[in-house]
Amino acid sequence: MEPLTRRRFAGTATLAGATWLTPISQMLARAADVKPARHATAQSVIILWMQGGPSQLETFDPHPGTTIAGGSKAIDTALKGVQLGDGFGRLAEQLEHISLVRSVMSKEGDHERGTTTIKSGFRPDPTIVYPSIGAIATHELPAAGCDIPRHVSILSSQWPARGGFLGDQFDAFRTDDPAGAVPDTQSFLTPERDSDRLKHLDVLEASFAKGRSRRVDATLHKETLADARKMMTSEQLKAFDVSKEPLAVRKLYGDSPFGRGCLAARRLIEVGVRCVEVNLTGWDTHINNHAFTASQMKILDPAFAALIQDLHTRKLLDKTIVLCAGEFGRTPRMNPTGGRDHWPSGFSVALAGGGIRGGQIIGETDPEGKAKPKDPVEVGDLHATILKSLGIDFEKVSQTPIGRTVKFAEGEPIEKLLVGK
């Protein structure tokens, strides 16, 4: 017999009519959905989230000397003929490891809706919450022996990454500047007192659960408590503590919360965390765009460059995808207050690491700011590319709690970006 692929099974089920609903057909469907495992180049993802929407014209897609540049300058990079915005002096040296997609297209120009679209790959829908890249990676790539949350968001984020229909347990665990301790992970009680309280809690919970065990189990309270206790006593919790790193390494990332967040991200993936999101707010440059962007780049440049260099030196870059993105870009034309407004029609993201071919430029924007970008890339294509690099079936169909069937990504991988293509 030929292997029962999902496509063949779907065709067979259509012909079979009502047999689709039988227990045996459901078993076959599950069996058909299991694909032979393939080698996954990447194992983790680090997302550098630029909240507010960075201007592509002062960062990854400069057009110096044109009207749309508005006077902004560019610098040469390690790639011949490729320039970055002035202020990316250190990142320019690492561009052989980084690929730029300069033609990302989105239909969302609102901050919240744009964030949801880029983080999940889907436009917001009031009937469903789609999971973020990190939630999918955590769900599909178990990490045995990891006692701390495997999906982490560092620094404040107005709209953090969600688990969506995969479940709230896949939401990002949020924490602050790694200069301080992770909140609420240290008990203020003596070990004896702490143990006594847990025993008393067990008695109360057992009494409460009588006659309502199914509802209690559905809350995942016991699992959440067990995971929290395991984290509080785990040696892996030290991965958040960047003070353990040599001073020279800390200086490379820059003395900023974001720089420390990037360093913590590297430490976290070393202990099995699947996705770390590090947030840098302040990119909503409706006024005084050039000055605000220059200030942001002083933070981003050393941290991003150090992260790529550090991962490469430690032989972790091939196992880690790094994505730098915001919810959209900024308008080619300056507004009367010297700012740039929201622009989802052709902006840039940077990709590096596991399974991503470095030194590539995908897409091209119009130096006059009028025509649509060449080789446009949809948001779904970015997600399909990242998931494929993680060895995840981006076309996998899941069923939501309300019975809808959806794929992990609505797009096709950008083959030019994939190693071996």
pLDDT in tens, 314-353: 999 999 999 999 999 999 999 999 999 999 999 999 999 9
How many percent of the chain have pLDDT more than 70?
90
106-157 pLDDT per residue, tens: 999 999 999 999 999 999 999 999 999 999 999 999 887 899 999 999 998 8
Cβ atoms 83, 75 nearer than 8 A: yes
pLDDT of the residue at 388: 96
How many percent of the chain have pLDDT more than 90?
73
pLDDT of the residue at 23: 40
Average pLDDT estimate for 96-107: 98
16-25, 76-85, 205-214, range with the lowest pLDDT: 16-25
Cβ atoms 239, 270 nearer than 8 A: yes
CA atoms within 13 A on the CB side of 8: 8
Query: What are the C-alpha distances in Å from 67 to residues 75, 86, 119, 261?
Result: 18, 17, 32, 36
pLDDT of the residue at 40: 53
- Please state, rounded to an integer, the average pLDDT across all residues of the chain: 88
pLDDT band at 201 (very low <50, low <70, confident <90, very high): confident
In this predicted structure, the answer to whether residue 226 has a pLDDT above a threshold of 70 is yes
pLDDT of the residue at 19: 34
255-281 pLDDT per residue, tens: 999 999 999 999 999 999 999 999 999
291-323 pLDDT per residue, tens: 999 999 999 999 999 999 999 999 999 999 999
pLDDT band at 285 (very low <50, low <70, confident <90, very high): very high
Average pLDDT estimate for 237-265: 97
365-374 pLDDT per residue, tens: 999 999 999 9
In this predicted structure, the answer to whether residue 24 has a pLDDT above a threshold of 60 is no
Q: Which fold has domain 39-181+242-417?
A: Alkaline Phosphatase, subunit A (3.40.720)
What is the distance between the alpha carbons of residues 227 and 148, in angstroms, rounded to a whole number? Answer: 8
pLDDT band at 31 (very low <50, low <70, confident <90, very high): very low
Question: Where is pLDDT greater, at 35 or 291?
Answer: 291
pLDDT of the residue at 376: 97
pLDDT band at 183 (very low <50, low <70, confident <90, very high): confident
pLDDT band at 181 (very low <50, low <70, confident <90, very high): confident
Domain ranges for the chain, please list them: 39-181+242-417, 182-240
406-419 pLDDT per residue, tens: 999 999 999 999 98
Average pLDDT estimate for 377-383: 98
> Which of 354, 356, 353, 381 has the alpha carbon at shortest distance from 106?
381
pLDDT of the residue at 143: 80
pLDDT of the residue at 227: 73
pLDDT of the residue at 228: 75
In this predicted structure, the answer to whether residue 33 has a pLDDT above a threshold of 60 is no
pLDDT of the residue at 421: 58
- Those residues whose C-beta lies under 8 Å from the C-beta of residue 259, and which sit 6 or more positions away, are 250, 253, 299, 302, 303, 306
* pTM for the whole structure: 0.86
> Which of 266, 271, 273 has the alpha carbon at shortest distance from 252?
266
